[in-house]
């Protein structure tokens, strides 16, 4: 199928769907200037930390418990690479679709907060967000715009315990509440699943796409490269997210200009 035909077909599916699940990964934020995590040119592509650790070990729950200074050092590096980034057209148009349809739910792996900043409300941040801190010793939580001026690692102002970002580190379990919300969305039914900017290497990210394919629910993938679900989706758009979403919007709203 030619690119223009694939865009037409995807726009028809998206325009006709009342209930849509978007699944997003680092690729959707790459167009906001954020580096991807592991891909070519990614922040941690083929390199160890200064301590000689794999980044998966440095950014693990075990390291946060044993050497919070090391875990925090690389969490702060991730946050610094997110700082100042703004939602791009893909984030904004997904949020705009939420205003038009009975259900638009975004399941994201990203911890950068850009979907929320764009206006998405029905949002499942499966890996948490760097903008929320929680104490490891007491119930205290705190929201921060960034880590500028933050003592690393920070102490809880109430009990003096360690504050940590409310994100899922390597080796930690996914949040039960987020998983329950995803299960509820799937149980209620969706008309379309759209995977954007994720390699889908984690089973819980590929799972909804595989579920949809098995149930006969249409699926679309927006990603320039091949992924774990490329072979099973109904339509593939080999485009960056910020290029694909405006094209889909134009086709769904021919009388309106689409932002780029």
Give yes or no for a cis peptide into 112 (omega within 30° of 0): no
Spatial separation of the C-alpha atoms in residues 216 and 58, rounded to whole Å: 41
Catalytic residue among 45, 91, 115, 127: 127
- From first CA to last CA, the distance across the chain in angstroms is 24
In degrees rounded to 5, what are phi and psi of residue 235?
-135, 140
Active site annotation includes 131: no
Beta-bridge mates of residue 88: none
Spatial separation of the C-alpha atoms in residues 137 and 79, rounded to whole Å: 23
Q: For residue 247, what are the contacts with CB-CB under 8 A and spacing of at least 6?
A: 7, 11, 239, 258
**Residues noted as catalytic:** 127
């Amino acid at each position: 199928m030619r690119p223009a035909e694939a865009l037409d077909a995807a726009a028809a599916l998206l325009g006709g769907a009342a209930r849509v699940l978007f699944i997003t990964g680092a690729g959707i934020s790459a167009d906001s200037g954020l580096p991807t995590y592991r891909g070519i040119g990614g922040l941690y592509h083929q390199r160890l930390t200064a301590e000689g650790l794999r980044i998966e070990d440095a950014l693990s729950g075990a390291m946060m418990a044993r050497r919070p200074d090391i875990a925090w050092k690389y969490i702060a590096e991730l946050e610094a690479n997110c700082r100042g980034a703004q939602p791009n057209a893909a984030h904004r148009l997904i949020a705009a679709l939420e205003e038009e349809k009975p259900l638009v739910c975004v399941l994201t792996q990203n911890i950068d907060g850009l979907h929320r900043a764009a206006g998405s409300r029905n949002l499942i941040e499966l890996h948490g967000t760097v903008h929320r801190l929680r104490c490891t010793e007491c119930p205290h939580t705190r929201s921060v715009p960034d880590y500028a001026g933050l003592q690393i690692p920070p102490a809880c102002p109430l009990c003096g315990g360690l504050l940590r970002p409310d994100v899922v580190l390597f080796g930690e379990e996914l949040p039960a509440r987020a998983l329950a919300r995803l299960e509820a969305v799937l149980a209620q039914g969706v008309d379309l699943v759209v995977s954007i900017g994720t390699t889908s290497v984690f089973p819980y990210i590929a799972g909804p796409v595989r579920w949809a394919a098995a149930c006969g629910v249409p699926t679309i993938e927006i990603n320039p490269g091949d992924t774990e679900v490329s072979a099973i989706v109904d339509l593939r758009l080999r485009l960056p997210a910020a290029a694909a979403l405006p094209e889909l919007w134009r086709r769904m709203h021919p009388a309106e200009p689409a932002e780029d």
